[in-house]
Amino acid sequence: MNRNLLCRIVNIFLLSFLIFISACEVDRSTIGSVDQQQYSYNYISDFEFEFNRYFFIDTYYVERYEKGFSEDLQYWTYEPSSLIKELNVYKSAGYSNNDARIGVATIPSNLEEFYNLSDLHGIIKKSGEIELGKFVPLKEGKDYWCNYGFGYFYLNYPKRIKDTEILAVAYRTDNDTVGTLVSMMIDKPQPLVLRLVKSQAMRVSHIHIWPLMMRNVYSLCDTSIVRDGFNIKIRKKDNHSTIQEIEPRKRFTHLLGLDVVDSNGNITNNGDGQVDDNYNLLDLDKGVLIFPGLNPFNPLPESRFQLADINRVGIYDFNQWPNNPPGIDSSKFEIVVQYIKR
């Protein structure tokens, strides 16, 4: 092979390579100035949200969640009358449990008819609407924690409610009292009346309670994360793209509300490549990430956070979980957590 021919081949190769690079969407945002070898990485699939652990107390708080965020997502406001002033959380228990009490857990439209009953004879169970049994109270700070403004509670790690267990609440705001509060109990063994949050074997068809289970919470898989050098990227599993391939061609972290402002707190058109330091969404001490959208990878029609239809993931409305989670087959994204340990 003569020298001229060799040079032409090399030039053609270099030109083809440059064209290929320019055609690719590459997110070149940096994550930190620390030596790359000091980083740890965790990879979380889109379907690996904290199943059966985080719950809204009632429908109002589901509907209020996205609306409460400011434009830059750095602040969340609640209507003062909706602040939770008192909360009791219960789960179902065996009939031999001496700490448990007979009760009915039901949806709001049924509560009134049960308040004055002396027993539960004649009441018919209806899955997803009326659950009967014995209920044992959980202890705040030990078994669960509550966010009284947002109106959700979560079971302390590693606890989570089982698919066969019922979860219910009684609570009070300035506007209303829902269910039988401990502070209202009388001496005679009147049945508990509770707001049903999770039924046995909860399914999509349980339309009155299905939305109460939060599906926008993810474990970062580590509780020793420091803020310096920490970042999150959301990328497609098939090509590792972090930018939506069709309009709007923006970072997935920006579209889903994790990267909205720059380091000075100014709203940016496409984020700055650094996940925002937003205390409403990130708790590094607990190792938890909460998206500001209720169904982040398949946003609701009215959501302010949207993905192109080609990028939506069918991981939320399933009927066979947890025995046959469809999210594994339809999964498209992974959350890449880059951090330095304490």
Q: Cβ neighbours of residue 89 under 8 Å, at least 6 residues apart?
A: 137, 138, 140, 143, 144, 146, 153, 167, 168, 169
pLDDT of 120 = 87
18 belongs to a structural domain: no
242 belongs to a structural domain: yes
257 belongs to a structural domain: yes
Among residues 157, 177, 212, which one ends one of the domains? 212
The model's pTM is 0.86
20 belongs to a structural domain: no
Find, among 316, 340, 338, the residue nearest to 326 by Cα.
Answer: 316
Q: Does residue 99 sit in the same domain as residue 206?
A: yes
Q: Does residue 305 sit in the same domain as residue 339?
A: yes
Among residues 194, 212, 230, which one ends one of the domains? 212
Rounded distance between C-alpha atoms, residue 220 and residue 337, angstroms: 7
Taking a C-beta distance cutoff of 8 angstroms, is the pair 195, 111 a contact? yes
341 belongs to a structural domain: yes
pLDDT in tens, 34-89: 455 589 999 999 999 999 999 999 999 999 999 999 999 999 999 999 999 999 99
Among residues 186, 212, 238, which one ends one of the domains? 212
Q: Does residue 220 sit in the same domain as residue 208?
A: no
The yes-or-no verdict on residue 92 having pLDDT over 50 is: yes
155 belongs to a structural domain: yes
Q: Does residue 284 sit in the same domain as residue 313?
A: yes
Q: Does residue 186 sit in the same domain as residue 245?
A: no
12 belongs to a structural domain: no
Q: Does residue 226 sit in the same domain as residue 282?
A: yes
Domain housing 46: 25-51+215-342
The yes-or-no verdict on residue 204 having pLDDT over 90 is: no
Find, among 217, 73, 100, the residue nearest to 147 by Cα.
Answer: 217
The average pLDDT across 230-252 equals 96
Q: Does residue 238 sit in the same domain as residue 314?
A: yes
Q: Does residue 34 sit in the same domain as residue 64?
A: no
Q: Does residue 205 sit in the same domain as residue 270?
A: no
pLDDT of 323 = 55
pLDDT confidence bin for 95, thresholds 50/70/90? confident
14 belongs to a structural domain: no
The average pLDDT across 315-339 equals 74
Rounded distance between C-alpha atoms, residue 279 and residue 299, angstroms: 22
The yes-or-no verdict on residue 298 having pLDDT over 50 is: yes
Q: Does residue 252 sit in the same domain as residue 312?
A: yes
pLDDT of 21 = 36
Rounded distance between C-alpha atoms, residue 218 and residue 29, angstroms: 23
Q: How many domains does the chain have?
A: 2
The yes-or-no verdict on residue 14 having pLDDT over 60 is: no
HSE value, Cβ hemisphere, 13 Å, CA-based, for 289: 30
The yes-or-no verdict on residue 16 having pLDDT over 70 is: no
Q: Does residue 326 sit in the same domain as residue 337?
A: yes
Taking a C-beta distance cutoff of 8 angstroms, is the pair 87, 253 a contact? no
User: Percent of the chain having pLDDT more than 90?
Assistant: 71
Q: Which of 99-103, 155-159, 246-250, 286-290 has the lowest mean pLDDT?
A: 155-159
Q: Does residue 181 sit in the same domain as residue 231?
A: no
